[in-house]
Amino acid sequence: MSLFKAYLALFRVSNLPTVWSNVLAAFLVSGETFSWIVAALLIMAMSLFYSAGMVLNDICDVEFDAVQKKSRPLSSGIITLLGAKMVLTLLFILGFAILLFLPNPLLAVVAGIVLFGLIVFYDKYHKGNPTSVFLMAGCRLMVYMVVATAVSGTVNKVVLTVALCQFAYIIFLSCVARYENAWQHTISFPLIPLLLAAICLVDGLSVSLALKSPIWFVGGFAGFTMTLAAQKYVRGD
């Protein structure tokens, strides 16, 4: 594995379309006039937060991965622990910096701090923690909260409903992931990558129902396809 591809794997870049769909879903149902410039800033910020969370996850799990998942960038030694920590810091700093350029920067940063806290708490305490599925789902839910507060200064009922749909789906996905190894003898295809990509479908369906327009499900399907295509190059789990 090249160093470049190792960093792509460390960041789980193949899953980023699912973050982009979260951002777009929250923005579309926020009630505010859509702006591609603002959407692009939010996509960049949330992508940085997500990638930082993945880096921190591997840093916290480095001893476990050295035994169970030796092919990962840190456990294989392709990326050093120091290098990962430096990148982690940079990702979070850049993510918070972008939030300062949004329509409601103070609220965006406050919501970003909550998201940051959930990411750190999940990554540090998810092993052997039965409540970690709720923490992971909470991280995704906070993406919607950051977007909504950043663009409108509040979280309306539709945003909350769409966010809770994704919250429930992430809990389902996380529970399935816990038993993936036990099902490997009965399921012949990679289930978790498929379920990860389907995050986009959940967003597409939720927005389509909320806005009463099936076109948004097409967008969700596009994100689903994009995620699956990216997973062929970089693993997302």
Q: Give residue 38's pLDDT.
A: 98
Cα–Cα distance, 154 to 22 (Å, whole number): 17
Return the closest-CA partner of residue 31 out of 152, 150, 149, 144: 152
Cα–Cα distance, 212 to 234 (Å, whole number): 35
Cα–Cα distance, 228 to 215 (Å, whole number): 20
Q: Give residue 191's pLDDT.
A: 84
The tens digit of pLDDT for each residue in 144-163 reads 999 999 999 999 999 999 99
pLDDT tier, 8 (very low <50, low <70, confident <90, very high otherwise): very high
The tens digit of pLDDT for each residue in 164-214 reads 999 999 999 998 887 765 555 555 557 889 999 999 999 999 999 999 999
Q: Where are the domains of the chain?
A: 13-231
The tens digit of pLDDT for each residue in 110-136 reads 999 999 999 999 999 988 788 899 999
By mean pLDDT, which of 6-20, 40-54, 167-181 is the weakest? 167-181
Which residue's structure tokens are 């999940």?
A: 122
Return the closest-CA partner of residue 172 out of 137, 145, 209: 137
Query: Of 237 and 230, which is predicted with more confidence?
Result: 230
Q: Give residue 14's pLDDT.
A: 95
The tens digit of pLDDT for each residue in 18-37 reads 999 999 999 999 999 999 99
Q: Give residue 133's pLDDT.
A: 93
How many Cα neighbours within 13 Å face the side chain of 126? 26
CA geometry: angle 75, 61, 121, nearest 5 deg? 150
Q: Give residue 181's pLDDT.
A: 54
Q: Give residue 70's pLDDT.
A: 75
Q: Give residue 186's pLDDT.
A: 52
13-231: CATH homologous superfamily?
Answer: UbiA prenyltransferase (1.10.357.140)
φ/ψ (deg, to 5) at 220: -65, -40
SS3 readout for the chain? CCHHHHHHHHHCHHHHHHHHHHHHHHHHCCCCCCCHHHHHHHHHHHHHHHHHHHHHHHHHCHHHHHHHCCCCCCCCCCCCHHHHHHHHHHHHHHHHHHHCCCCCHHHHHHHHHHHHHHHHHHHHHCCCCCCHHHHHHHHHHHHHHHHHHHHHCCCCHHHHHHHHHHHHHHHHHHHHHHCHHHHCCCCCCCHHHHHHHCHHHHHHHHHHHHHCCCHHHHHHHHHHHHHHHHHCCCCCC
Question: In the predicted model, what is the mean pLDDT of residues 3-18?
Answer: 94
Q: Over 70: is that where the pLDDT of 236 sits?
A: no
The tens digit of pLDDT for each residue in 78-109 reads 999 999 999 999 999 999 999 999 999 999 99
Question: In the predicted model, what is the mean pLDDT of residues 61-83?
Answer: 83
Q: Give residue 1's pLDDT.
A: 62
Return the closest-CA partner of residue 143 out of 173, 111, 169: 111
